[in-house]
Structure 1
């Protein structure tokens, strides 16, 4: 791998130290996941540590949706689902939220107001069918199914206060095959259903190779086979990516990193896998060991759409916050930098996002280093969420290069913010000890 200059290595070290604190306390503004509208790749929504960022023009213009406007507070969805009809849904880890006007108005589903919606899965071809897992301690949790596009929900597993579910996934090649990971008094387990959730087989995951305590969380199912799936484990400061080729009966370790594994993606044929941590994006091809890619080398995430791979990056390290690759991550085309966000999302006057976000934008803009110091989120009438003319985003940045000058993206303010963040986190930890 290409050697980074000393000051970049310092910044990476600081980013790594900040990773755990950022998950719990907000940390630096960063992108965390990316989703595309089904059937229309010109619409993108990017989850972030400071809310969400949305584009309606293939990534030319990006606008901010504040968490207050969404009603999610500090809860961050692992992913968004932007449906064909335009609705956007997400399981935040707390509530199940939905927007039917392009991200301007968000509502929480009452079924999950007393529990935690930990994961959402949507049928690959019939968007009326959805699944949600819940995982709030000391509350009766289950795997829920909707057959009316998320309006009503029915538990598919007997609700049980001793069980917490973390993730549900649908096999793209056979949507009747479902997987759900969870935890109860007996340990970690994987549930598998071959009949769309009508019945389930429990597959215990003792994993004796790991020292306790550890977790076990389902990640994804291959598009090529319903029997091929991946899960992640965190134990004693290390993360592991596990693969099964027999429907979850057995798992084999394919990656070990001294970092937080935040997500994974796989190619359509199942022969290439990407694993994302806050520092690197790893790639493994059939017959090859999984190894880190040169970029992104900060705040990695991965999402594939057809033959295009999207990846989150850290604007504090190599300028771009989101990029796409057409060669499986070997080279990247930057889509936007955090400082290029053109203000809050364009919404109608009466919408929660329009009421909450513009007043907060100047402070966010200062943090991001945005040249748009005053908000440009002018109401757009009844067409909530559609960018108006003259949004004026600066062109995409050039591909990242080496060096440590301010022009190459390593601004002194970034190091200062990182250092202050570390200091604040250390003081919090010391206060808890005292």
Structure 2
């Protein structure tokens, strides 16, 4: 009995320190997954992956990936849907609660003071490849004076070009073939609207979209403009939700009318029953991919229904670079979290697997080093990575913030990050981040135990694919 008691006490002493920490919260019912792909313009060796557990960065064309924890990125419970990597090495993202930036390769992140000081929530972000110094940001906080904002200096300063006391502006896209053409989605409490400018934001046309075909008994909601054709400024794609379904829509007349284009194979309904991560379109606009949390659909011009691709399974996102499609996947199911395909999703070349992730390699004194490195021993087992790796302390080559910080940008410093706009005390009219589910909803040893079980199940499933 004394020996048993001694063993129990020893075990408690061993596990007690773990209870002081909580691993980073994971989405997708607790599964760690990649969510978006960004490649630096003019520097294809630099790649950035959004993830449910922060982000991953590669400086060698995907051969090595380093983790960036969400705590150092200052976005709290609001995860960016996508990131922009500008030619000068600046990383920027609209989180839904703040505009965050990094000028040193993800080692230091700051919250843009312009939107924070006005209690605005940046939701949409666009930057035309031909004019990367020009940024467009939209805000969508209810019961606020929202607007469309333009920057001509790479995001240092912003000027409103359209504001409203009653509307929210959900997303913004620029036509690649004519950067004067800007599309912004949004709406009021009673109507969905598309805002179009043909002169770079000097004037705007407001187009109402009641979508009567979806309005029996309830109104559609969440109109988001998703993509504009590479070659035709009048051709664009958007999404709208209604009664639990998401519809991917196409317009060929500059946003004045839309038709549904995604009809999943084998389903009677003409919408997606899962949340839409995003879409990608081929250069000629004749092939479209729609990614959800678990599946990737492809629809070609002339086809009546979308085809569900065999892979990825369990997680999906899509980003086209030239003729190559980058696709997110689920390492727990098919041993890659990022792959490329050159044949529209028929075959894949694995580029990255989560267990190959390495700890942050930022210099001491930066938030990503000082905040993320202590988390690594706990986080690594959740993705089956080596928790004992010790990277060389070499700073990234993307430049460092100027002395005193950038104009209009809060200096992140090296302290523990302060809450951003998405972590302040909620007000009755403010949407809140979704509740944590699965293992990530608990703290201390509970998620560690859950993640150990999940890790074991993932290994078992990969070793026994017939099960």
226, 243, 249: which one aligns with 1:236: 243
Q: Which residue of 2 aligns with 1:336?
A: 352
Instruction: Give yes or no for the alignment of 1:70 onto 2:73.
Output: yes
Matching residue within 216, 235, 253 for 1:246: 253
In our comparison, the structure showing a higher alpha carbon Rg is 2
Counterpart check, 1:108 vs 2:149: no
Query: Which residues of structure 1 form unaligned runs of 5+?
Result: 1-20, 387-410, 418-434
- Give me the TM-score of the superposition, normalised by structure 2: 0.76
1:292 Cα deviation (Å)?
1.0
Q: CA 1:353–1:188 in 2, change beyond 3 Å: closer, same or farther?
A: same
Per-residue displacement from partner, 1:365-403 (whole Å, max 9, x unpaired)?
111111x112434421574799xxxxxxxxxxxxxxxxx
Deviation per residue, 1:155-184 (Å, 9 max, x gap): 1103x2321111000000101000000021
Instruction: Sort the Cα spacing of 1:385 and 1:144 in 2 relative to 1 into closer, same or farther, 3 A.
Output: closer
Match of 2:230 among 223, 228, 245: 223
Confirm or deny: 8 A CA contact 1:280 1:296 kept in the other structure: yes
SS of residue in 2 equivalent to 1:180: strand
1:198 aligns with 2:202: yes
Equivalent pair of 1:347/1:383 in contact (CA under 8 Å): no
> TM-score normalised to the size of structure 1?
0.81
The yes-or-no answer on 1:139 pairing with 2:144 is yes
Residue matched to 1:129: 134
Any residues of structure 2 matched to 1:337-356 within 5 Å, and which?
337-344=353-360, 346-356=361-371
CA RMSD of aligned residues (A): 2.0
- Once structures 1 and 2 are overlaid, which stretch shifts more, 213-222 or 297-306? 213-222
Distance verdict in 2 for CA 1:412–1:353, change over 3 Å? closer
User: Alignment partner for residue 330 of structure 2, among 314, 323, 332?
Assistant: 314
Q: Establish whether residue 48 from structure 1 lines up as the match of residue 51 from structure 2.
A: yes
Q: Which has the higher contact order (CA 8 A, sep 6+)?
A: 2
Return structure 1 stretches of 4+ with deviation > 4 angstroms.
Answer: 381-386, 414-417
Match of 1:259 among 271, 274, 294: 274
C-alpha contact (below 8 Å) 1:119/1:168 kept by paired residues: yes
1:30-429 equivalences in 2 (<5 Å): 30-113=33-116, 114-158=119-163, 160-211=164-215, 212-215=218-221, 216-255=223-262, 256-288=271-303, 289-344=305-360, 346-370=361-385, 372-381=386-395, 383=397, 413-414=454-455
Residue number in structure 1 paired with 2:20: none
1:359 and 1:72 map into 2 onto residues whose CA distance is 19
> Are the aligned partners of 2:26 and 2:53 in contact in 1 as well (CA < 8 Å)?
no
Give the count of matched residue pairs.
Answer: 369
User: Aligned-pair distance for 1:68?
Assistant: 1.1
